[in-house]
Structure 1
Amino acid sequence: MSRHVAVITDSTAYLPSREMERHGITAVPLTVVLGDEALEEGTEVSARSVAQALQRRRSVTTSRPSPETFAAAYRAAADAGARGVVSLHLSAEISGTYDAAVLAAQDAPVPVRVVDTGMVAMALGFCALTAAEVAEAGGTLDEVVAAAQKRAEGTAAYFYVDTLDYLRRGGRIGAAQALFGSALAVKPLLQLEGGRIEPLEKVRTASKALARLEDIVVERAGGGPVDIAVHHLAAPERAQHLADRLRDRVAGLADLHVSEVGAVIGAHTGPGLIGAVVSAR
């Protein structure tokens, strides 16, 4: 890296590889445990494998990166010439990843600013992209952190799941919240609020829930300019339909990303997930 500030995130940012390479962003992998086998997200396990395991009711759990893994990433950035690191991660409310990064930062060879973005998936990815752009322009550590935090403040994430059971099993929502979607034929819409996964609305059918999700994203986007990401797990047709509709309806749309989530988020949401991220530029 030729710039003075390196940007590091984690594998749940789900940034396209071309964007990571273009901007020199490093992603530290979380781990998915299938049965008794621990596998790194992004290189050793796919979202599709996780979806299949969940459908077969196999044990699927996740774990944060170790502080040692983060320490190695910080050393590598310093060895490549960085004089400081901004380390941006998924919400500390739903993962211990931030805590592991903070531990590693204490002994890093260069100053490291660890940021809990309160986000996940491309809601985190957009923060990392903005941070990298400011770093490329010669921004200081403080300027890069401020840019990432401002992007996070202007970003919202909404999602639909076929069932809340996977989120409940993984401890990402409580039993009381799980009751929100337990009634017959009720389909839940959720949002990231304060870094936590919170119920948003109940809709009677999947088709109506996805139509409502579309409306919510359009309302949030307003006049733009905004970037949007549509995520899914084992539901590419649904995701593409939503993306096409948003392309038609959001006047200020800048970039639109459509992608399957990775194994870690997939393990907690289950097949059928449709997520939408709206991020003001």
Structure 2
Amino acid sequence: MKKKIAWVTDSTAHITEELQQHPDVYVVPMSIIFGEDIYEDGLTVTPDNLYTKISEYPELPTTSQPPIGKFVTLYEELQEKYEQVIMIHVSSLISGTYAGSRQAAEMVGIKYHAIDSKAMSYAMTYMLQDGLQLQEEGKTVEEIVTYIEGMISALENYILLGNLKQMYKGGRMNGVQFFLGTMLNIKPIITIKEGVFQMFDKVRTEKRAVQRLMDQFASAYEKVAINRLAILHGNRLQDAQKWKEMLVEKYPSLAIDICPISSTIGVHAGEGTLAVLWFNK
């Protein structure tokens, strides 16, 4: 007898230990390319050793979506074990992963529901966690998918980039933004909105940037009941913990997760990145 739902995502999501151990969750890794050497995000390169590799290598690495063949192989295996697949992927406007995953599912002929998260990282983690919880509660696949899709528009996220050069060379930032950040010493605050990177604000110091983000959360918290928040970092655990301490002091009932950004995201955002996200619902 086939199991009901297989959950598929990519390595831009933060895969918690619980998700790693879940028998129905499958993660397809992105590729990180240093010259002629290709690494698999989360498998042969991790956030712990990524930045060391970057510092040792003369050129910045590049990233690539998973080959469609990896998705085909996975869906052929899942077709034998599951009735259908729910796939949650990084924004389709940032990566071709979502399109490749759908194309592979069509080729195999497996029944699927594709969700374009229009986000990345812990936003996708929360979507997976909530979906699995709803499944445990006995919700139908249609109810689960509808709920997760409703989360997309409720996401609020802000990113303090650690390395503007990497974001610019990776094609995620235009020349004007790069000039402002490097030549004028302005700290740009980036957000992912409608699935693409957008400039949210520009401030002079990181201290002011942090206060800006705290103010944003305070404003959101006054309007809706927010019960969880994620702080993401590129090799800045101590600073992420300081952010958590500031938030816990003011919002003691708030559940706060801290995690490193994935290696794929780290290639573009750079070491030193700090970000925060939550859902306004």
- The question of a shared fold, defined as TM-score above 0.5 by the shorter chain, is answered with yes
Counterpart in the other structure of 1:258: 258
Which secondary structure does the structure 2 equivalent of 1:146 belong to? helix
1:8 and 1:73 mapped to 2: Cα distance? 9
Instruction: Give the alignment of 1:1-281 within 5 angstroms.
Output: 3-22=3-22, 24-56=24-56, 57-80=58-81, 82-222=82-222, 223-250=224-251, 253=254, 255-280=255-280
1:70 and 1:121 mapped to 2: Cα distance? 20
RMSD between aligned residues: 2.1
2:2 and 2:211 mapped to 1: Cα distance? 45
- 1:95 is displaced (CA, Å) by 0.8
Q: Is contact 2:90–2:117 with CA below 8 Å preserved after alignment? A: yes
Q: Is contact 2:157–2:192 with CA below 8 Å preserved after alignment? A: yes
- 1:143 is displaced (CA, Å) by 2.2
CA-to-partner distance for each residue in 1:84-127, whole Å, 9 max, x for gaps?
11111001111111111121011234211222110100011111
Which amino acid is the alignment partner of residue 140 of structure 1? T
1:165 and 1:147 mapped to 2: Cα distance? 38
2:195 and 2:251 mapped to 1: Cα distance? 26
Which amino acid is the alignment partner of residue 113 of structure 1? H
2:59 and 2:17 mapped to 1: Cα distance? 29
Which secondary structure does the structure 2 equivalent of 1:43 belong to? coil
- 1:161 is displaced (CA, Å) by 1.4
Change (3 A) 1:146 1:59: same
- 1:147 is displaced (CA, Å) by 1.6
1:211 and 1:23 mapped to 2: Cα distance? 41
Q: Which blocks of at least 5 consecutive residues in structure 2 are unaligned?
A: none
**Comparing 270-279 and 15-24, the one that deviates more:** 15-24
Which secondary structure does the structure 1 equivalent of 2:127 belong to? helix
- 1:128 is displaced (CA, Å) by 1.6
1:30 and 1:40 mapped to 2: Cα distance? 6
- 1:169 is displaced (CA, Å) by 0.6
Q: Is contact 1:3–1:135 with CA below 8 Å preserved after alignment? A: no
Q: State the TM-score, normalized to the length of structure 2.
A: 0.91
Q: Which blocks of at least 5 consecutive residues in structure 1 are unaligned?
A: none
**Comparing 233-242 and 130-139, the one that deviates more:** 130-139
- 1:204 is displaced (CA, Å) by 0.9
**Comparing 68-77 and 132-141, the one that deviates more:** 132-141
1:107 and 1:180 mapped to 2: Cα distance? 46
Change (3 A) 1:34 1:134: same
